[in-house]
């Protein structure tokens, strides 16, 4: 039964997404290849935004039934207008491969991951018990005020919990989510191979991309132990990178709109989604203004700044009640910005998370070669956005764990492995694209 | 399906049609380059900085009291004392360990039920730890921090306990082995270490958490591997190896490394399906009992019109506490801590009474006079059921 529930939800997300995409891109349906993940993720965005609106405006939760109605309408119209062409062989072949991959990824466990059952899933259960707008508090907040219910993820964005909630409205348990997650992940793999096919990549490269994405141990782990938010961030980020690349290459407004819409999904799942969104936007603008031949100047400037920052004594200056401090323990710009720095040596933990544990197969072992090829190879301008994003993300990752309080989470690998997970699918795609896109200087 | 402007994109799928001879030469050149690098990699890993083979037997170096170890079927069985996390001192001087830095444990038969490691302690402080893999031949290397430790007082322990899967242990949790020896950093030891790594890719267990991963390869192996792959990829780039050749080589390499993992995942999937097939609700037997109790408790509290009161959970064990909180999600449940002032909390929450849910493991026989928390003694026991106690205060 849970397979059926999962399929129904997945079809609903895809159908709702298709409706919106058809409205947005009436003249460009051809860019949606069979089983592309884009409609499913747009449907997910619609679902989360709609549920969040119902929550914020205290609307009746019965309004959620508009989603299956819209999905059914879309399916009926699709069949009547024959826009769903079931005779395409590629569609059936991909469906068979997807079924095998999903079977491989879904474990059939009757539970979500442990911190999900205590956090995100329980939040959905509490909304069911006490209403979608019920006041939920963290432990430390709950003890300070009357009433309310405790939830350790009360301060987290509601995206994943709303997904649990919508399903729990209609089904008795949460296992449908395992199927939806696995189906959407496999759809994403199909999207990557479709995108590579559009770039005229050889079949072997498409197979390699699919295999790499389907055999990353920690990714598979998070799909089997469904209920973590990190895997959703990882999937959305890869879609944004692909859509952003298309936007930069072909300058179609719809690609840009879609990239921005998908970006909006990032903070719906986790707070660090804001950081990824900011880095994606920053990478875009940075790449627009940075001419490739200046890259060594940028690296030199960054290295000089780091050396000065480590080498020089703390510097502070005050005027008109504002203070600017630049030291190894504090960076402060008046009242506008203040960052307490707590340098910690967590290099072993970072190295271990990437290379010593069997979380990523050989994936990150390719990183040094990829960075060298990026630095010395020649690439089309549109591919530099994604490359810049990965470099910026890695710098942010290193700064976060080396200089902030987050280093305490590094010690048991919790945060390091999760953030690496969020970046891993993007790196798989960029690794593949590195060899496809590069045109070595003669 | 093509993007509207896909024609403008990337590489040519069929740039030209090279002759068979050209193709064969190109493949041979590529294979020769890859083979040379592979040989350099293995030689470097095995020979660079290695020492002559030396070893000493430390099979009986574990300090045990009568009844803690027995010998059966050619194997030593170290007792888990009823499935707890236990540790036994290792009588191996640090000076000896520094000379022979690898501890090789042969025929460990603890397999899937036991989690084991070697600990180095300075007094009560753990200085370093190194996991013992579930392998027929486990190699534990002396950590760098211990090598450089200047105190000879550092003592080593073997620590093991049941490998909990979703809060539950299974099978026999004794640590079973045949022989232990200290060896030098020789070619043989390095080869055994590599073989052990190969055989023990991290198994994915049902409750494998994202941060709970076994370190699978050592730092030198990782650095050599990274160096090899970097030189190989850059070499291919400079040699102008075709995309197809490179892709096929990476594909094969990836398959070799992910093969054990793929097999493991399929096996694990079958194991999970078999394990949970007969459970209608609940994760395992323990969770089933928690679920049943939570339903009874809810009904009881509703009959006493007390289901609106804050319910403080004072239970042992993360699994127990979190699953109880989950099953009682419709009640105002809170994880209690030992330093909590209940009177202050009652004022904050604007209630005159609150409930404490604990177990007989915490409160023997649910006898409030035996409570280690003085605040509880002024409470009233309103429910005693299935090993749980509910106190109203």
User: Between residues B219 and B153, which one has the greater pLDDT?
Assistant: B219
Beta bridge partners of B183: B55, B102
Whole-angstrom distance, CA of residue B293 vs CA of residue B279: 17
Separation in Å, CA of A136 to nearest CA in chain B: 10
Residue B382 β-bridge partners: none
* Nearest by CB: B210 against A222, A358, A438: A222
How confident is the model at residue A86, as a pLDDT? 64
Q: B18: which 2 tokens?
A: 């090279």
* Interchain CB contact of A408 with B (< 8 Å): no
Least CB–CB distance from A357: residue in B216, B243, B325: B216
Q: Which two tokens stand for residue A74?
A: 């879309």
| pLDDT recorded at residue B206 | 53
Q: Which residues contact A295 (CB under 8 A, 6 or more apart)?
A: A375
Residue B385, classed as helix, strand or coil, is strand
* Complex prediction ipTM: 0.86
pLDDT at B250 over 90: yes
- Chain A touched by B263 (CB under 8 Å): no
CA distance B229 to B235: 10
How do beta strands B311-314 and B333-335 pair? Answer: parallel
pLDDT tops 60 at residue B322: yes
Nearest to B164 by CA among B303, B328, B287: B287
- Angle at which helix A230-250 crosses helix A384-403, to 10 degrees, equals 150
Give the model confidence (pLDDT) of A4-23 as tens digits.
888 999 999 999 998 888 88
Tracing tokens 């479709």 back to the chain, one arrives at A194
Who among A111, A212, A414 is closest to B211 (CB)?
A: A414
Q: Locate the chain A residue with the closest alpha carbon to B269.
A: A107
In B127-166, the residues whose Cβ lies within 8 Å of chain A are 166
Residue B278: per-residue pLDDT: 57
Cα B332 from chain centroid (whole Å): 34
**Distance (Å) from the C-alpha of residue A314 to the closest C-alpha of chain B?**
32
CA-angle at A159, arms to A157 and A160, nearest 5° = 110
Q: Do A413 and B348 touch (CB under 8 A)?
A: no
DSSP assignment of A154-175, as one string? TTS-SHHHHHHHHHHHHSSSST
* B311-314 and A149-150 beta bridge pairing: unpaired
- Chain B, 196 to 235: residues with Cβ < 8 Å from chain A are 201-202, 204, 206-211, 213-219, 222, 225-226, 229-230, 232-234
**Does A249 sit within 8 Å of B5, measured CB to CB?**
yes
Residue position matching structure tokens 């109605």: A69
Q: How confident is the model at residue B10 (pLDDT cuts 50, 70, 90)?
A: very low
Residue B308 has pLDDT above 60, yes or no: yes
- Please, what is the Cα angle at A7 between A77 and A257, to 5 degrees? 60
Helices assigned H by DSSP within B183-242: 187-199, 219-239
Write the CB contacts of A193 (distance below 8 Å, at least 6 apart in sequence): A206, A209, A210
B52-78 exposure pattern, b = at least 16 Cβ within 10 A, e = fewer: eeeeeebeebbeeeeeebeeeeebbbb
Does the global pTM surpass 0.90?
no
Query: If DSSP states are collapsed to H, E and C, what string results for B73-88?
Result: CCEEEECCCCCCCEEE
In angstroms, how far is the first alpha carbon of chain A from the final one?
59
For residue B364, is pLDDT > 90? no
Mean pLDDT of chain B: 81
Q: For the segment B234-244, what is each residue's pLDDT rounded down to a tens digit?
A: 999 888 888 88
Cβ–Cβ gap A356/B219 under 8 Å: yes
Question: If you measure CA to CA, which chain B residue comes closest to A360?
Answer: B258
Q: Low-confidence residues of chain A, pLDDT below 50?
A: 29-30, 440-442
Interface of A with B in 136-195 (CB under 8 A): 139, 142-150, 194
Residue-level pLDDT at B7: 45
Decide if pLDDT at B1 tops 60: no
Helices (H), A57-214: 66-80, 89-105, 114-117, 120-130, 139-142, 159-170, 176-198, 203-214
Q: Dihedral sign, CA of A89, A93, A99, A105?
A: negative
Which tens digits make up the pLDDT trace of B134-187? Answer: 778 888 888 878 877 766 678 899 998 887 766 666 677 888 888 999 999 999
Q: Is the pLDDT of residue B54 over 80?
A: yes
Q: For chain A, what percent of residues have pLDDT higher than 90?
A: 35
* pLDDT tens, position by position, A182-232: 999 999 999 999 899 888 888 899 999 999 999 998 888 888 888 889 999
A221 to B204: CB separation less than 8 angstroms, yes or no: yes
* Residues in B 304-333 with any Cβ partner in A closer than 8 A: 319, 322-323, 325-326, 329-330, 332-333
Which residues from chain B sit within 8 angstroms of residue A223, using beta carbons? none
Task: Name the region of A194 (left: φ>0; alpha: ψ -120 to 50; beta: rest).
Answer: alpha
Tell me chain A's radius of gyration from C-alpha atoms. 23
Of B302, B325, B310, B295, nearest to B391 (Cα)?
B310
For A394, counting Cβ atoms within 10 Å of its Cβ (0-12 exposed, 13-18 middle, 19+ buried), the class is middle
Does residue B9 carry a pLDDT above 50?
no
pLDDT, tens digit, for every residue of B57-113?
998 888 888 888 888 878 888 888 877 788 999 988 888 888 899 999 987 665 667
- pLDDT for residue B209: 45
Average pLDDT value for residue range B188-205: 76
Q: What percent of chain B has pLDDT over 90?
A: 18
At residue B6, the pLDDT reads 46
Rounded Cα distance between A88 and A34, Å, is 9
Is residue B193 packed enough to be buried (19+ CB in 10 Å), middle (13-18) or exposed (0-12)? buried
């Amino acid at each position: 039964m849970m397979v059926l529930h999962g399929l129904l939800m997945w079809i609903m997300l895809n159908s709702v997404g298709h409706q919106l995409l058809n409205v947005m891109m009436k003249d460009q349906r051809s860019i949606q290849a069979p089983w592309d993940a884009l409609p499913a993720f747009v449907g997910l965005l619609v679902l989360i935004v709609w549920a969040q609106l119902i929550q914020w405006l205290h609307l009746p939760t019965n309004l959620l039934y508009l989603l299956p109605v819209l999905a059914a309408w879309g399916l009926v119209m699709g069949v009547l207008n024959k826009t769903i062409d079931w005779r395409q062989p590629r569609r059936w072949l991909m469906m068979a491969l997807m079924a095998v991959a999903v079977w491989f990824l879904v474990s059939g466990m009757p539970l979500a991951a442990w911190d999900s059952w205590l956090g995100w899933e329980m939040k959905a259960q509490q909304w069911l018990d006490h209403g979608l707008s019920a006041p939920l508090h963290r432990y430390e907040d709950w003890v300070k005020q009357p009433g309310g219910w405790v939830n350790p993820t009360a301060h987290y964005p509601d995206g994943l919990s709303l997904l649990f909630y919508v399903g729990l409205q209609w089904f008795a348990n949460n296992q449908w989510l395992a199927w939806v997650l696995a189906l959407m992940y496999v759809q994403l793999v199909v999207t990557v191979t479709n995108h590579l096919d559009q770039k005229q990549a050889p079949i072997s490269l498409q197979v390699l991309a699919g295999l790499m994405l389907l055999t990353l141990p920690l990714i598979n782990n998070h799909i089997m132990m469904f209920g973590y938010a990190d895997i959703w961030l990882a999937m959305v980020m890869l879609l944004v990178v692909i859509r952003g690349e298309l936007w930069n290459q072909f300058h179609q407004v719809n690609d840009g709109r879609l990239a921005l819409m998908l970006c909006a999904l990032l903070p719906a799942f986790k707070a660090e989604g804001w950081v990824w969104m900011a880095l994606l936007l920053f990478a875009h603008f940075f790449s627009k203004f940075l001419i490739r031949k200046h890259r060594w100047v940028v690296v030199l400037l960054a290295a000089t700044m780091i050396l000065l920052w480590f080498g020089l004594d703390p510097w502070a200056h005050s005027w008109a009640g504002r203070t600017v401090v630049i030291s190894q323990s504090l960076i402060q710009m008046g009242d506008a910005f203040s960052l307490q720095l707590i340098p910690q040596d967590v290099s072993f933990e970072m190295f271990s998370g990437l290379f010593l544990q069997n979380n990523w197969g050989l994936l990150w072992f390719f990183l040094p070669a990829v960075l060298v090829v990026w630095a010395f190879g020649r690439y089309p301008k549109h591919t530099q956005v994604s490359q810049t994003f990965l470099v910026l993300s890695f710098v942010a990752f290193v700064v976060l764990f080396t200089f902030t309080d987050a280093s305490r989470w590094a010690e048991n690998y919790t945060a390091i492995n999760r953030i690496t997970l969020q970046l891993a699918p993007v790196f798989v795609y960029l690794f593949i694209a590195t060899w496809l896109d590069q045109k070595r200087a003669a | 399906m093509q993007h509207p402007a896909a024609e403008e994109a990337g590489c040519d799928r069929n740039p030209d049609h090279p002759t068979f001879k050209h193709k064969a030469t190109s493949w041979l050149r590529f294979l020769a380059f890859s083979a040379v690098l592979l040989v350099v990699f293995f030689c470097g890993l095995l020979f660079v900085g290695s020492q002559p083979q030396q070893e000493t037997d430390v099979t009986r170096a574990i300090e045990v009291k009568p009844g803690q170890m027995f010998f059966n079927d050619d194997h030593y069985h170290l007792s888990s004392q009823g499935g707890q996390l236990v540790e036994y001192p290792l009588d191996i001087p640090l000076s000896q360990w520094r000379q022979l830095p690898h501890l090789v444990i042969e025929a460990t038969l603890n397999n899937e039920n036991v989690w084991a490691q070697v600990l180095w302690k300075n007094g009560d402080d753990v200085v370093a730890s190194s996991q013992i893999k579930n392998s027929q031949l486990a190699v534990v290397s002396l950590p760098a921090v211990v090598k450089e430790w200047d105190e000879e007082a550092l003592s080593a322990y073997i620590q093991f306990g049941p490998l909990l899967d979703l809060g539950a242990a299974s099978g026999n949790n004794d640590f079973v082995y045949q022989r232990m020896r200290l060896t030098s950093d020789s070619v043989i030891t390095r080869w055994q270490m590599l073989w052990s790594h190969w055989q023990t890719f991290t198994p994915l267990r049902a409750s494998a958490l994202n941060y709970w991963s076994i370190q699978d390869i050592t730092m030198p192996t990782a650095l050599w591997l990274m160096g090899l792959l970097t030189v190989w990829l850059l070499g291919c780039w400079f040699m102008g190896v075709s995309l197809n050749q490179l892709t096929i080589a990476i594909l094969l390499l990836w398959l070799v490394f992910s093969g054990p993992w793929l097999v493991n995942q399929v096996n694990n999937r079958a194991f999970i399906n078999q394990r949970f097939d007969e459970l209608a609700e609940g994760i395992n037997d323990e969770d089933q009992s928690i679920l049943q109790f939570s339903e009874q408790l809810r009904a009881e509290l509703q009959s006493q019109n007390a289901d609106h009161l804050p319910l403080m959970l004072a239970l042992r064990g993360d699994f127990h506490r979190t699953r109880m909180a989950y099953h009682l999600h419709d009640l105002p449940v809170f994880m209690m801590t030992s330093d909590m002032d209940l009177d202050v909390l009652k004022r904050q929450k604007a209630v005159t009474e609150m409930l404490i849910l604990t177990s007989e493991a915490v409160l023997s026989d649910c006898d409030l006079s035996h409570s280690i928390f003085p605040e509880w003694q002024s409470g009233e026991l309103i429910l005693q059921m299935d090993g749980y106690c509910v106190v109203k205060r």
